[in-house]
Amino acid sequence: MSLIPIILCGGAGSRLWPVSRESHPKPFIRLSDGQSLLQKAFLRAAALPGVEQILTVTNRDLFFKAEDEFREVNKDGIATSFICEPFGRNTAAAIAAAVEHVSQVHGPDATLLVLAADHLIADQAAFATAVEKAVELAQSGKIVTFGVRPETPETGYGYIEAEGNNVLRFIEKPSLEKAREYLTSQQFLWNSGIFCFTARAMHREMQLHCPDILAAVSECLADSRVSEGKGWTQVQLEPKSFGAVPENSIDYAVMEKCQQAAVVPCSIGWSDIGSWAALSELCKPDGHGNRVEGEALLHDVDNCYLMSRDRVIGAVGVENLIVIDTPDALLIVNRERAQDVKYIYSELKARGHEAHKLHRTVHRPWGTYTVLEEGPRFKIKRIEVKPGASLSLQMHHHRSEHWIVVSGMAKVVNGDQELFVGTNESTYIPAGHKHRLENPGVVGLVMIEVQSGEYLGEDDIVRFEDVYGRA
């Protein structure tokens, strides 16, 4: 029997703003060891026996970012495939798409292991043991969830009341009083959001409990485009038909109604890293309970978490604070109110402020750009293009651009001209000119772009040709 791990990679990660943004959600946050949560999920899945390939369901705008993340850690060259959603429709739609795709490619008896990209599991050996038991139950036709034995009266998680491997009921996030009761009774488990089942069994349950979601996803897959690259397959879900898919979570759509549900109780060092308070626990405290990532000078400070990658933080006479410093946003929150960071994120989004969506450094399929400075009628960017990559053939109505190569070699289309621009050389792109930037070399191309004009928004772009399907 083949085991296909399914990594669900999406969400806004609003409670981990300002490091998490809409275009850089929680799975892409790097921990102190340099690995992202997504990379850890990939490695956790790849280490399991019997894994033929790993399938990731993500937003289409995150595909190239996820592909880059996997390329960094996929030393064994395990096959990867992607289902790319044009927008989110919650976990039921994502799992339905995975089930239908796996059934077509690997057959209905393939076993799926659904993992969240933004969870942390500290005990790989215990996790592998739990997966082995879950696969055994799944191959008998059960829809299996993983129930984590609670260590604290946590109010931020859903619970499962269980008797052995039997699910008695699913419970919403409880009050503190109820959570304490659940901890004492030892019959209740945290609902981890990890699932295991055969494609055939989940298809059966979806046909029974949410046939509208299953039918709409199946129709969408029939309309969708499949492309292949070196070691990967990508399914681009067709936007119009995907928009007809009802939005629901797998818990509500299937699990709470399922008569074939089973649970594997486990202690695997699991956390969903749902707040800055939870993330701070991964950092070793000093004698005053302070945790620091980056450089900070502290005087009379207790029980604080301070993170800064670029600047020195100075703190005097404060306690129970979380301070997160990024190049374009600063967060200061009482540790006990860490869950409420989502309100700042929501307000930024409501105002249309770019800080809810983008970092100063923005990832694109071809590389990155960083906004260095901007003002009325000008913007300065640092652009890095990966070896062999190229931007789209494009045109801007309202701005002109000056390109100065800092290192590497640029191949440039500028109107009717095609030219090479080397280190310490430059070229000028007038508004209205078709142009393209390409890195023909084997090392990164770094250049400075100076934009000038009456409007400098990223939406002032007309694409004529694009190797990434964005034209």
Question: pLDDT tens for residues 214-247?
Answer: 999 999 999 999 988 766 789 999 999 999 999 9
In the chain, CATH 3.90.550.10 covers: 3-271
Question: What does the pLDDT look like over 38-65, one tens digit per residue?
Answer: 999 999 999 999 898 999 999 998 999 9
pTM: 0.90
pLDDT over threshold 90, residue 113:
yes
Q: In what order do the strands lie in the sheet containing 426-429?
A: 361-364, 367-375, 378-385, 445-453, 399-407, 426-429
How much is the pLDDT for 10? 86
Q: In what order do the strands lie in the sheet containing 329-334?
A: 291-293, 305-308, 321-326, 329-334
Q: Report residue 309's pLDDT band, with 50, 70 and 90 as the boundaries.
A: confident
Angle at which helices 37-46 and 63-73 pack, to 10 degrees? 60
Report whether 161 contacts 187 (CB < 8 A).
Answer: yes
Q: In what order do the strands lie in the sheet containing 435-438?
A: 417-421, 410-414, 435-438, 393-395, 462-465
Angle at which helices 199-209 and 90-106 pack, to 10 degrees? 140
Question: What does the pLDDT look like over 145-159, one tens digit per residue?
Answer: 999 999 999 888 999
pLDDT over threshold 70, residue 1:
no
The reply to whether omega before 387 is within 30° of 0 (cis) is no
Q: Give the chain's count of helices (H) and strands (E).
A: 11, 30
- Non-local (6+) Cβ contacts of 430 within 8 A are 400, 415
**Mean pLDDT for all residues in the chain:** 94
CATH of domain 361-465: 2.60.120.10
Q: Across residues 418-429, what is the average pLDDT? A: 97
Q: Which CATH number fits domain 3-271: 3.40.50.150, 3.40.50.720, 3.40.50.11540, 3.90.550.10?
A: 3.90.550.10
What is the total residue count of the chain?
Answer: 471
**Token pair for residue 32?**
């102190």
How much is the pLDDT for 416? 92
Residue 455, classed as helix, strand or coil, is coil
Q: Percentage of the chain with pLDDT > 70?
A: 99
In the chain, CATH 2.60.120.10 covers: 361-465
3-state helix, strand, coil in the chain (%, to 5): 30, 35, 35
